[in-house]
Amino acid sequence: MKPLFGIAWRSAWNRRFTLALTVLSIALSTLLLLGVERIRAQLRESFSSSVSGTDLIVGARGGSSQLLLYSVFRIGSATHNMQWRSVQAIAAHPGVDWAVPLSLGDSHRSFPVLATTAAYFEHFRYGDRQPLALRQGKPFEALFDVVLGAEVAERLGYTLGERITLSHGAGGLGTNEHADKPFTVVGVLARTGTPVDRSLHIGLEAMEAIHLEWAAGAPMPGLRITADQVRKFDLAPKSVTAVLVGLKNRSAVFNVQRFVSGYAPEPLLAILPGVALDELWTVVGMGENALLLMSSLVALVSIAGLVSVVMAGLNERRRELAVLRAVGAGPRHVLALLVLEGGMVSFIGVLLGALLAALGTALLSPWLQAEFGLSLRLSEPTLAEWQLIGGVLAAGTIASLLPGIRAYRLSLADGLSPRT
């Protein structure tokens, strides 16, 4: 077998320029297959670890996936807010242990601003029920204090004591800035690998303070309330975007959910984060399957290209194969030679594709973390990835049987006397 391997390698090397395109096509198809699988698996894991220990998420009635996306992942926006009195009613329910209100809508240089209470730092959990930790500083206490996520601090180069200005909505327009009410950075959170890393955290009273002279999403003409004057006003929040709820006993989850659904003063929705994620994956799963199918088709085309290249070269290699037959190689040796060549080409292509997938993961991870707060990391191949790698290798080797069988059937006389 060892001499046969050497012959196969030298034969493939003599046709390296032709086979290089086939190797590249197999590498790209492997890159697509492994890339889609890794992104699918790790983004699911990242989404699932973004919030834990929260039994219910409550917001204005609408879609459960939409509520989950904007309250936890800062993706999209709420169509309606819920009244503060509703938050108080939910917090007062006998089955509720804690309730953390969230208010979204403002931003700072494209990073979302989250207004909440000090209870957020106490009760919010991610991953395997890990609590938030401060890398520097302390939680917000004064009215215009802000605590930064790790990604915000690193990307923008902010340190403790820095004064920053928030923008109304997504920002981008000078008139949308709350320039007259700057905030002071008092804390930086440790990295979590979740959307918390790319959020700025302020108090609910601060959110009210910067919008005192705003109405219908725009500043009221001729009205200006300075940062010193806002403290004279009632800064109790009037509405919030959503509420994270923890229960005293998880067996009460459906009881509290029914209470929220039947709440008379306004229509509300309470979702279980895990169930909402499953619903989201049901929708996204169709797209994932479509991407995997397209990647599989690309892999099949690459394997077909390998067969075509080897088959096309058989006529040119008739004398080479005939010489091998003449020096004692049997038909089975010729068959094994062609199959071995195809397997080698497939292996090199798969290896190159796996290396490109690892490189792509390393390059793509910082962008995903910065833009969406989602973690994509380098790791050993999963069982599903090994199955994909094995599938491509097996397909390439099996496909090589076709030109191998063709070479097997070439007679010695046909090889020594090629037809013209």
Per-residue pLDDT of the chain (420 residues; tens, 9 = 90+): 446 666 666 666 666 677 777 788 888 888 888 888 887 777 777 777 788 889 999 999 988 888 998 898 888 877 789 999 999 999 999 999 999 999 998 999 889 999 999 999 999 998 888 999 999 999 999 999 999 999 999 999 999 999 999 988 766 544 578 888 899 999 999 998 888 998 999 999 999 999 887 766 666 766 777 777 888 888 899 999 999 999 999 889 999 999 999 999 999 999 999 888 888 777 777 777 777 777 777 777 777 777 776 666 555 565 666 666 656 555 666 667 777 777 788 888 889 988 988 888 888 777 766 665 556 677 778 888 888 888 888 888 787 777 666 666 654 445 445 454
Q: How far apart are CA 418 and CA 233, in angstroms?
A: 98
pLDDT for residue 325? 60
pLDDT for residue 411? 44
Q: Which helix (H) or strand (E) holds 36?
A: helix 16-48
Q: Is 106 in contact with 166 (CB distance < 8 Å)?
A: yes
pLDDT for residue 385? 84
Q: Would you list the domain boundaries of the chain?
A: 2-47+285-416, 51-279
pLDDT for residue 1? 45
Measure Cα distances from 254 to 54, 103, 342 in Å: 14, 25, 59
Q: At what angle do helices 331-372 and 383-399 cross, to 10 degrees?
A: 150
Place of tokens 């009881």: 255
pLDDT for residue 302? 76
Q: Is 75 in contact with 372 (CB distance < 8 Å)?
A: yes
Look up residue 198 and give its two tokens.
């790319």
Name the burial class of residue 213, with classes exposed (0-12), middle (13-18) and buried (19+) by CB atoms within 10 angstroms of its CB.
Answer: middle
Cα atoms in the Cβ-side hemisphere of radius 13 Å centred on 203: 17
